[in-house]
């Protein structure tokens, strides 16, 4: 007879959002199972590869409560400033720019002012997640494993390909943009391709970044430089390091991606400008197609969608992962509250509250990032002038700057 375990929540997908949610629930004593079709160790990348996550200040509590922040093996780099510019390739940026300082959002605070967020190496978060998943007593991990899921009003059954059966009150779809659980539930999904690719890599530079990020808008797409902590690569230690997230139309991205290091570095320098001194590529290169995605519902019977299973946005503001983390924060809080009140932690009332908690916020962020991409990714002169004047106006309106900061960081 197949072994059966009973849990409150079964999370399908052990990516950053799903695994962090599972750790958060288990750390609070909620019996949880997490299932992924890939074994966990192959998800780890022991060597520096240049990929990093921008973890907003509002997402940090999830990692703290889950017991993950203290397990990060490589130091996160705080983001203390953000500089936003507009320009054309080969020309100096417009003198009308916008600068955010982390202190501006908390002028009334007398305590230590938190950063906007932190740049966390992707390998660092993965190593912390894998370590934590193995140590939480209320958490059962099944990876690699495939699950057949049956949902009904009375509960959820998951039959794994190893004969294991899991009974749960709620199943969470955290499988990413092509969620089989969302598809099986018949949830309509709207998709839109930007016909762009993001090139992700890292650079070493001769001058310090001073914990400041750059978002430079170009007609072909945004170019972002994000501060990282010192690291060690195969050739030795590197003191000044930044991540690069570089958006181009697909055909041009294909060409740039295949350049040798010298020409690739020169193209980065053309877009970055001279403020960081001489630059050279380090780590690996990655390329990702860009598109927007929105699931028309975030719930179904005994089912909740989180992260990329529910929404996907343009990386123009670095908010994609943070939206997923905020889904996890909202859902975990509702499950914990339901259990404390003796309510059904997967019933219609909880799912309705979850939908109300996240739907408007996620739709607003999708619309905002889509609007920014359309506003800045063009070279129409009157529109360029209008947006540069708008950037300059925001720079001189502290209350509006504080509003934007708090929306982006998820605090306040």
Whether the CB-CB separation of 22 and 139 falls below 8 Å is answered with: yes
pLDDT in tens, 214-264: 999 888 889 999 999 999 998 899 999 999 999 999 999 999 999 999 999
* CA 171 to each of CA 120, 145, 227, 305, 346: distance values in angstroms, whole numbers, following the listed order: 28, 15, 37, 9, 8
Does residue 253 sit in helix, strand or coil? helix
- Inter-axis angle of helices 398-409 and 381-395, nearest 10: 100
Going across the sheet that includes 77-79, the strands are 52-56, 117-121, 77-79
Region 9-33 average pLDDT: 98
Segment among 158-167, 300-309, 399-408 with least mean pLDDT: 399-408
Q: Percent of the chain having pLDDT more than 90?
A: 73
Residue 95's pLDDT band, with cuts at 50, 70 and 90, is: confident
Residue with the larger pLDDT of the pair 351 and 315:
351
- pLDDT given for residue 1 in this prediction: 38
- pLDDT given for residue 402 in this prediction: 67
Segment among 4-8, 9-13, 303-307, 370-374 with least mean pLDDT: 370-374
* CA 133 to each of CA 26, 32, 334: distance values in angstroms, whole numbers, following the listed order: 9, 11, 22
Q: Percent of the chain having pLDDT more than 70?
A: 88
Q: Which residues of 311-348 are buried (b: 16+ CB within 10 A; e: fewer)?
A: bbbbbbbbbbbbbbbbbbbbbbbbbbebbeeeebbbee
Whether the CB-CB separation of 75 and 229 falls below 8 Å is answered with: yes
Residue 102's pLDDT band, with cuts at 50, 70 and 90, is: confident
Do the strands 147-152 and 236-238 form a parallel or antiparallel pair, or are they unpaired?
unpaired
Res. 284: pLDDT tops 90: yes
Residue with the larger pLDDT of the pair 278 and 3:
278
Asked if the peptide bond before residue 144 counts as cis, ω within 30 degrees of 0, the response is yes
Region 346-370 average pLDDT: 93
**Placement of tokens 């494993």 in the chain:** 145
Res. 93: pLDDT tops 70: yes
pLDDT in tens, 207-217: 999 999 999 98
How far apart CA 6 and CA 33 sit, in angstroms, is 9
Segment among 262-266, 285-289, 377-381 with least mean pLDDT: 377-381
Region 143-152 average pLDDT: 96
Residue with the larger pLDDT of the pair 152 and 92:
152
Among candidate residues 63, 41, 323, 331, the one with its CA nearest the CA of residue 172: 331
Whether the CB-CB separation of 246 and 116 falls below 8 Å is answered with: no
* CA 269 to each of CA 90, 278, 283: distance values in angstroms, whole numbers, following the listed order: 10, 8, 17
- pLDDT given for residue 46 in this prediction: 75
- pLDDT given for residue 310 in this prediction: 97
Determine how many CB atoms are found less than 10 A away from the CB of residue 366: 21
**Residue 170 corresponds to which tokens in the numbers above?**
């709620």
Beta bridge partners of 173: 12, 305
Apex CA 226: angle with CA 220 and CA 228, to 5°?
150
Q: What residues contact residue 61 under an 8 Å CB cut-off, 6+ apart?
A: 329
Region 107-117 average pLDDT: 70
- pLDDT given for residue 106 in this prediction: 60
Residue 355's pLDDT band, with cuts at 50, 70 and 90, is: very high
- On average, the pLDDT of the chain sits at 90
Domain range 4-74+121-191+292-376, CATH class = alpha beta
Segment among 71-85, 96-110, 117-131, 162-176 with least mean pLDDT: 96-110
Within the chain, all domains assigned CATH 3.50.50.60 are found at: 4-74+121-191+292-376
- pLDDT given for residue 378 in this prediction: 67
- pLDDT given for residue 88 in this prediction: 83
Q: What residues contact residue 112 under an 8 Å CB cut-off, 6+ apart?
A: none
User: 279, exposed or middle or buried, with CB in 10 Å at 0-12, 13-18, 19+?
Assistant: buried
Whether the CB-CB separation of 328 and 24 falls below 8 Å is answered with: yes
Tell me the backbone φ, ψ of residue 232, rounded to 5 degrees: -125, 130
One-character DSSP codes across 170-211: EEEE-S-TT-HHHHHTT--EEEEEEEEEEEEEEEEESS--TT
Name the CATH architecture for the domain at 77-118+195-290+382-409: 2-Layer Sandwich (3.30)
Residue 45's pLDDT band, with cuts at 50, 70 and 90, is: confident
Within the chain, all domains assigned CATH 3.30.9.10 are found at: 77-118+195-290+382-409
Determine how many CB atoms are found less than 10 A away from the CB of residue 34: 29
Res. 379: pLDDT tops 80: no
**Cα torsion at 326, 147, 7, 361 (round to 10°)?**
20
Residue 398's pLDDT band, with cuts at 50, 70 and 90, is: low
């Amino acid at each position: 007879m197949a072994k059966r375990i009973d849990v409150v929540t079964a999370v399908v997908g052990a990516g950053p959002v799903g695994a962090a949610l599972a750790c958060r629930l288990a750390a609070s004593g909620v019996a949880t199972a997490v299932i992924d079709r890939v074994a966990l160790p192959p998800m780890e990348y022991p060597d520096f590869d240049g990929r990093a996550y921008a973890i907003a200040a509002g997402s940090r509590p999830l990692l703290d409560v889950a017991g993950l922040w203290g397990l990060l093996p490589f130091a996160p780099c705080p983001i203390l400033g953000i500089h936003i510019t507009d320009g054309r390739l080969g020309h100096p940026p417009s003198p009308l720019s916008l600068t955010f300082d982390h202190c501006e959002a908390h002028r009334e605070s007398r305590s230590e002012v938190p950063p906007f967020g932190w740049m966390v190496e992707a390998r660092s978060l993965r190593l912390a997640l894998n370590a934590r998943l193995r140590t939480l007593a209320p958490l059962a991990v099944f990876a690699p494993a495939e699950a057949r899921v049956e949902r009904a009003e009375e509960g959820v059954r998951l039959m794994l390909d190893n004969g294991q059966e899991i009974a749960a009150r709620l199943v969470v779809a955290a499988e990413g943009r092509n969620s089989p659980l969302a598809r099986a539930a018949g949830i309509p999904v709207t998709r839109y391709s930007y016909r762009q690719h993001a090139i992700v890599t890292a650079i070493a530079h001769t001058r310090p970044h001073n914990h400041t990020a750059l978002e430079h808008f170009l007609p072909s797409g945004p170019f972002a430089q994000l501060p990282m902590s010192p690291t060690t690569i195969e050739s030795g230690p590197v003191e000044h390091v930044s991540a690069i997230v570089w958006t181009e139309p697909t055909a041009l991205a294909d060409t740039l991606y295949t350049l040798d290091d010298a020409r690739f570095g020169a193209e980065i320098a053309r877009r970055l400008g001279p403020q960081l001194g001489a630059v050279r590529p380090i780590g690996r290169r990655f390329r990702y197609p860009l598109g927007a995605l929105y699931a028309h519902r975030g719930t179904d019977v005994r089912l909740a969608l989180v992260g990329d299973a529910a929404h996907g946005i343009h990386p123009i503001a670095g908010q994609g992962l943070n939206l997923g983390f905020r889904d996890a924060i909202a859902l975990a809080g509702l499950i914990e509250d339901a259990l404390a009140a003796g309510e059904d932690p997967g019933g219609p009332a909880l799912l309705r509250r979850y939908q109300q908690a996240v739907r408007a916020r996620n739709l607003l962020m999708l619309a905002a990032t889509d609007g920014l991409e359309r506003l800045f990714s063009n070279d129409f002169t009157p529109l360029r002038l209008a947006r540069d004047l708008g950037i300059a106006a925001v720079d001189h309106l502290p209350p509006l700057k504080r509003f934007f900061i708090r929306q982006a960081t998820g605090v306040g």
